[in-house]
């Protein structure tokens, strides 16, 4: 048998495909499922040549398609068998008028299709070009027929060259072998249609089924990603080779399957990604761009900088499809790099699989985590000190060589020995001295943070931790009350000591269960509680670092000041709601297409807390949750708990440099009048004011220094005659 493989769904052949599609006048079904088929029950291997023309199938059984069992739509019901073999002869009157040919197969669980003895399509079974044995089972058991639930069968495009070489005028044969996933499978389906685009007005065949749509009308304003595995099944590991085509004609311009690729048209490696999300039928994928020889290559996709590694993230339990995108958007507005992402629609092996986000991976390079490259031979001096990327995450499915565990000299009450996974360099590439260095650095950092002297401005935790990045990271986690916050997908990076070698928190990752989208904790649903003190609760592994830092008044005040600053900009309620509304408007009809493919609106999907009866209700729940959350944080941001009950005493001025006014944060032990005095470097007083404060504890006041000459000044805060604190400030205009 000649080996011939098709590019499933969309031929990666560019402009010639557009011309052929435009020549189709109408569509007709050359073979329909409800016709009479010959079939052989796969209790044993069928005779040789069973899938070729001229084979004598007179001893085979016959019945109306679809043929199978267990789906309540089978026109011919067969017993539970490992496989079933099907044959259907058909007549072609004129091959010259057939411009396109589609094969639709509603299968369960795997199949191979043949045209006149030549393989033309395959899914979820074996190796392309090798005929599976009768008792070979499908690779995965997750594929279900779609017609019984109102869906559309998987679609496969027959390549023009295949039509030209194998389709002939007169009698032809379409043959299939359909395989079960195991001996106890509850169903098997084989419903098949062969539909042709006809270039003239002749009508020699049947009308297509009602669910068929002219593919020339399948336009979307979202970018299109088309993946063809050429019959191979995507698994968790390793990556398989496939083809990918990316079409993005720019904002406002429609994208269609028949258009030329704009960003990429070539080979990829692809595997299923994620942990708990792998149980969902809508899978997320890791993608590696490859040359035809299998080597890594890079490309700029959908306006994002060149890279070879990408993620196709599949929003599923998050029915708004917005939680990750919103969080990355807000994180990027805070100033540091966060993974860029673009919404797109994806077709996999002829199957429309919905709305996805093409995302950057967390990688070290100048366009992403911009830290120094660390070569294996950099094992001494400043070279050894960076750059590193590590993360706290689940370690259940990785080996002990892929992470390290610290044992700090000073332990904090109820804290754990945390595990840190090597991200960059990868565990296979990192030298032993580099492993020892980063493990010792993290151990020393936590030991200092746990110590009684951790507040020391020189030798305390600030020596090891970049507090600005930790504040920003904490704001995001608290804002969305992320159930996985501080414990999973928690990334850190460190540059060389000569380039600020402190530990930075971030980038952000994985927020689909945030914003009240889970039902297995109470506090992560709530909008009126803090997350950081809860390192003692729920499954453990939650880092206590942020809780300990909040024992430092200056850090806590910086957290409050940063929140108030952000609330005037990207975190304002109007700004957040506008982003949500604009994103929904951008998604447009793709939302309907996604939930037609995945009909989960109104249904519980683990671990939903709220189940809306419409997409609009899902969005309204998200908006309401956010509104209540930010309002509570506004009121409570300066009374955030100190987990040890003692937070030190100091004042914090923010922003600094000062332009119009500044805020002061401090702790007041007794209520009453405070005095604010600003002097220049000559000691002359340039501003004085008094304010009466009626409460004790953490305080927040605003000061307008008036019109001063730009330069250095000193601000002092008094309660009576007692100096509370003193800070240097810069006034700029």
CB 563 within 8 A of CB 569: no
**pLDDT 10s digits, 189-237:** 999 999 999 999 999 999 999 999 887 777 899 999 999 998 888 999 8
Average pLDDT for residues 635-652, to the nearest whole number? 61
Q: How far apart are CA 691 and CA 660, in angstroms?
A: 19
Claim to verify: residue 276 and residue 319 sit in the same structural domain: yes
Quick check: is 435 in a domain?
no
The total of structural domains in the chain comes to: 3
Claim to verify: residue 295 and residue 337 sit in the same structural domain: yes
Residue ending a domain, among 214, 235, 256, is 214
CB 268 within 8 A of CB 293: no
- Which pLDDT score is estimated for 539? 52
Quick check: is 186 in a domain?
yes
CATH code for the domain of 708: 2.60.40.2550
- Beta-strand pair 110-115/118-123: antiparallel
Give the pLDDT band (50/70/90) at residue 11. Answer: very low
CA dihedral over 247, 250, 251, 255, signed as positive or negative: negative
- Which pLDDT score is estimated for 536? 67
Q: Is 436 left (phi over 0), alpha (psi -120 to 50) or beta?
A: alpha
Claim to verify: residue 205 and residue 227 sit in the same structural domain: no
DSSP state of 701: E
Backbone angles phi, psi at 448, to 5 degrees: -65, -45
Quick check: is 262 in a domain?
yes
**How far does Cα 268 stand from its chain's mean position?**
18
Quick check: is 206 in a domain?
yes
Buried (b) or exposed (e) across 433-444, using 16+ Cβ within 10 A?
Answer: ebbebbbebbbe
Backbone angles phi, psi at 584, to 5 degrees: -65, -40
Claim to verify: residue 161 and residue 275 sit in the same structural domain: no
Quick check: is 381 in a domain?
no
Both tokens of 347, joined, read: 């077709």
Claim to verify: residue 175 and residue 82 sit in the same structural domain: yes
Residue ending a domain, among 333, 360, 387, is 360
Q: CA 24, 27, 28: angle at the middle one, nearest 5?
A: 140
- Which pLDDT score is estimated for 697? 85
**3-class DSSP state of 291:** coil
CB 46 within 8 A of CB 178: no
Claim to verify: residue 208 and residue 223 sit in the same structural domain: no
Quick check: is 552 in a domain?
no
Overall residue count recorded for the chain in this entry: 733
- Which pLDDT score is estimated for 693? 93
Mean pLDDT score of the chain: 91
**3-class DSSP state of 558:** helix
Give the pLDDT band (50/70/90) at residue 52. Answer: very high
- In the chain, the N- to C-terminal Cα span, in Å, equals 81
Claim to verify: residue 171 and residue 28 sit in the same structural domain: yes
Claim to verify: residue 200 and residue 286 sit in the same structural domain: no
Q: How far apart are CA 101 and CA 425, in angstroms?
A: 48
Residue 177 half-sphere exposure, CB side, CA atoms within 13 Å? 28
- Which pLDDT score is estimated for 652? 82
- Which pLDDT score is estimated for 154? 86
Claim to verify: residue 171 and residue 223 sit in the same structural domain: no
**pLDDT 10s digits, 438-489:** 999 999 999 999 999 999 989 999 999 999 999 999 999 999 999 999 999 9
**pLDDT 10s digits, 202-214:** 999 999 999 998 8
- Which pLDDT score is estimated for 150? 83
Residue ending a domain, among 293, 327, 360, is 360
CATH code for the domain of 111: 2.60.120.260
Both tokens of 510, joined, read: 């994985």
Quick check: is 395 in a domain?
no
Domain of 259, in residue numbers? 219-360
**3-class DSSP state of 679:** strand
Average pLDDT for residues 124-140, to the nearest whole number? 91
Claim to verify: residue 680 and residue 709 sit in the same structural domain: yes
- Beta-strand pair 154-157/722-731: unpaired
Q: Which range is most confident: 125-134, 327-336, 414-423, 548-557?
A: 327-336
**How far does Cα 376 stand from its chain's mean position?**
31
Claim to verify: residue 115 and residue 206 sit in the same structural domain: yes
Give the pLDDT band (50/70/90) at residue 656. Answer: confident
Residue 499 half-sphere exposure, CB side, CA atoms within 13 Å? 16
Within 10 angstroms of residue 248's Cβ, the number of other Cβ atoms is 22
CB 181 within 8 A of CB 135: no
Claim to verify: residue 207 and residue 260 sit in the same structural domain: no
Average pLDDT for residues 536-542, to the nearest whole number? 64
Quick check: is 276 in a domain?
yes
Both tokens of 343, joined, read: 């919404």
Average pLDDT for residues 540-545, to the nearest whole number? 85
């Amino acid at each position: 048998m000649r080996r011939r493989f098709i590019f499933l769904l969309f031929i990666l052949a560019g402009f010639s495909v557009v011309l052929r599609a435009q020549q189709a006048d109408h569509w007709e079904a050359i073979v329909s499922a409800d016709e009479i088929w010959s079939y052989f029950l796969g209790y044993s291997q069928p005779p040789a040549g069973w899938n070729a023309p001229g084979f004598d199938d007179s001893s085979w059984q016959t019945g109306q398609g679809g043929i199978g069992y267990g789906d309540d739509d089978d026109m011919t019901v067969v017993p539970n068998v490992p496989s079933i073999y099907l044959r259907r002869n058909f007549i072609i009157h004129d091959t010259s008028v057939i411009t396109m040919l589609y094969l639709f197969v509603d299968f369960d669980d795997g199949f191979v299709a043949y045209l006149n003895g030549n393989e033309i399509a395959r899914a979820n079974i074996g190796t392309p070009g090798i005929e599976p044995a009768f008792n070979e089972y499908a690779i995965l058991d997750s594929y279900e027929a779609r017609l019984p639930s109102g869906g559309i069968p998987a679609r496969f495009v027959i390549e023009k060259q295949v039509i030209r070489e194998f389709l002939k005028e007169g009698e032809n044969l379409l043959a299939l072998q359909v395989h079960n996933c195991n001996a106890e499978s509850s169903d098997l389906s084989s419903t098949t249609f062969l539909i042709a685009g006809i270039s003239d007005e002749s009508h020699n065949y049947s009308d297509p089924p009602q669910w068929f749509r002219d593919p020339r009308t399948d336009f979307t304003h979202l970018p299109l990603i088309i993946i063809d595995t050429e019959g191979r099944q995507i698994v968790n590991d390793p990556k398989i080779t496939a083809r990918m085509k990316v079409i993005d004609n720019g904002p406002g311009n429609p994208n269609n399957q028949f258009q030329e690729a704009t960003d990429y048209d070539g080979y990829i490696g692809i595997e299923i990604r994620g942990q708990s999300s792998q149980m969902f039928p809508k899978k997320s994928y890791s993608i590696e761009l490859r040359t035809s020889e299998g080597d890594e290559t890079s490309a700029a996709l959908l306006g994002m900088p060149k890279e070879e590694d990408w993620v196709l993230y599949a929003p599923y339990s998050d029915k708004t499809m917005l939680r990750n995108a919103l969080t990355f958007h807000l994180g990027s507005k805070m100033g540091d790099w966060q993974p860029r992402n673009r919404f797109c629609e994806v077709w996999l092996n002829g199957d429309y699989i919905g709305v996805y986000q093409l995302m950057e991976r967390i990688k070290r390079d100048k366009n992403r985590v911009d830290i120094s490259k660390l070569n294996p031979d950099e094992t001494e001096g400043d070279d050894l000190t960076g750059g590193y990327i590590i993360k706290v995450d689940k370690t259940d499915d990785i080996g002990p060589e892929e992470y390290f565990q610290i044992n700090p000299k000073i332990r904090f009450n109820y804290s754990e020995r945390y595990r840190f996974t090597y991200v960059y360099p990868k565990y296979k590439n990192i030298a032993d001295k580099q492993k020892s260095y980063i493990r010792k650095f993290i151990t020393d950092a936590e030991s200092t943070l746990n110590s009684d002297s951790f507040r020391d401005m020189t030798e305390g935790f600030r020596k090891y931790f970049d507090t600005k990045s930790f504040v920003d990271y904490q704001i995001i986690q608290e804002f969305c009350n992320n159930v996985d916050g501080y414990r999973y997908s928690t990334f850190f990076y460190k540059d060389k000591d000569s380039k600020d070698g402190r530990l930075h928190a971030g980038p952000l990752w994985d927020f689909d269960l945030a914003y009240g989208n889970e039902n297995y904790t109470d506090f992560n649903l709530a909008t009126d509680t803090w997350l950081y003190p809860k390192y003692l609760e729920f499954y453990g592994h939650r880092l206590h670092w942020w809780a300990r830092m909040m024992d430092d008044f200056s850090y806590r005040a910086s957290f409050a000041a940063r929140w108030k600053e952000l609330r005037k900009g990207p975190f304002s309620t109007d700004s957040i709601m506008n982003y949500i509304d604009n994103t929904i408007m951008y998604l447009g009809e793709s939302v309907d297409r996604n939930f037609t493919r995945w009909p989960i609106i109104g249904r519980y999907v683990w671990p939903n807390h709220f189940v809306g009866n419409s997409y609009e209700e899902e969005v309204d729940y998200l908006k309401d949750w956010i509104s209540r959350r930010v309002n509570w944080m506004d009121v409570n941001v300066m009374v955030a708990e100190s987990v040890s009950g003692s937070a030190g005493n100091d004042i914090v001025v923010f922003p600094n440099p000062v332009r119009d006014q500044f805020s002061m944060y401090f702790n007041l032990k007794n209520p009453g009048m405070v005095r604010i005095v600003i002097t220049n470097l000559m000691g002359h007083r340039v501003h004085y004011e008094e304010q009466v404060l009626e409460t004790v504890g953490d305080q927040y006041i605003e000061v307008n220094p008036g019109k001063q000459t730009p330069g250095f000044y000193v601000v002092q805060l008094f309660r009576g005659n007692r100096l509370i604190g003193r800070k240097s400030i810069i006034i700029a205009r």
